[in-house]
Copies of this chain bind each other. A is one copy, B any other.
Amino acid sequence: MPSLKENIIHEALRLFSLKGFSSTSITDILEAAGVSKGGFYNHFRSKEDLFYAVLERARQIWREKVLEGVDQVDDPIGKICLVLENYRDSYLIDFENIPGGCIFITLAVELADQHPKLADAVNQGFSGFKAMITGYLNQAQKTGDLRSTVSARAVAEMVFAGMLGASVMYGINKSADDLNYAIEAVIQYLKELVRV
């Protein structure tokens, strides 16, 4: 049984994913979580305060879903492929937690101009993710699995963009086929860089 605080975070995550941060009122969250205003303010000083708790919870879900099994793969390119597959097969279809799709993208796009400080917090996750992918690619270049002529940072940029593109399109058309196609395009792209 989740605590009241956990329940508020969970319902806020769902609502932010569907409606974004600004369009979700505290009243919406109170109703969804079945909690009183007093109960809410016992745990959170403000909507911004809740935002950071939701972001932390979203990151935890992300790590659980997207990084699952990655440690058990030796080949660094294989690790990236598994990240892409997990993103598609486990994270993006987590309708219980993020019914509106990738929460990081939704918040980043919405908050960029409205709440730059909150958008920065989201962006730290993007930067960390790109650094992780760049690290795997550097490893792959050391072992000779990845062509040394390509820039690891540029490839990481393409992988990140590929996931972002796939997620935005899936958000609109909810087509599992299109999502699969877009993720496979990124995997093929990576495999081309290995093969030659």
Q: Which residue of B lies closest to A20 (CB)?
A: B110
Of the listed residues A101, A126, A154, A165, the one surrounded by the most CB atoms of chain B closer than 10 A to its CB is A165
* Residues of A in contact, count (CB < 8 Å): 49
Question: Would A172 and B19 be within 8 Å (CB), given that A157-B165, A160-B165, A161-B165 are in contact?
Answer: no
Within 8 A of B (CB), among A6-31: 18-20, 22-23
**Cross-interface CB contact of A112 among B120, B157, B158, B172, cutoff 8 Å:** B172
**Cross-interface CB contact of A166 among B105, B150, B161, B184, cutoff 8 Å:** B161
Cβ of A168 within 8 Å of any chain B Cβ, yes or no, is yes
The distance from the CB of A90 to the nearest CB of chain B, in whole angstroms, is 20
- Asked if residues A126 and B169 are in contact (CB atoms below 8 Å), the reply is yes
Contacts of A123 in B (CB 8 A): 169, 172-173
Known: A161-B166, A161-B185. 14 other contacts (CB 8 A): A20-B22, A100-B113, A106-B110, A113-B171, A126-B172, A154-B185, A157-B165, A157-B181, A158-B165, A158-B189, A161-B165, A161-B182, A161-B186, A196-B196
Question: Would A184 and B113 be within 8 Å (CB), given that A108-B171, A126-B169, A162-B161 are in contact?
Answer: no
- Asked if residues A172 and B114 are in contact (CB atoms below 8 Å), the reply is no
Interface string of A140-157 (1 = CB under 8 A from B): 000000000011011101
Instruction: Please report the C-alpha to C-alpha distance between residue A189 and residue B149 in the assembled complex, in whole angstroms.
Output: 12
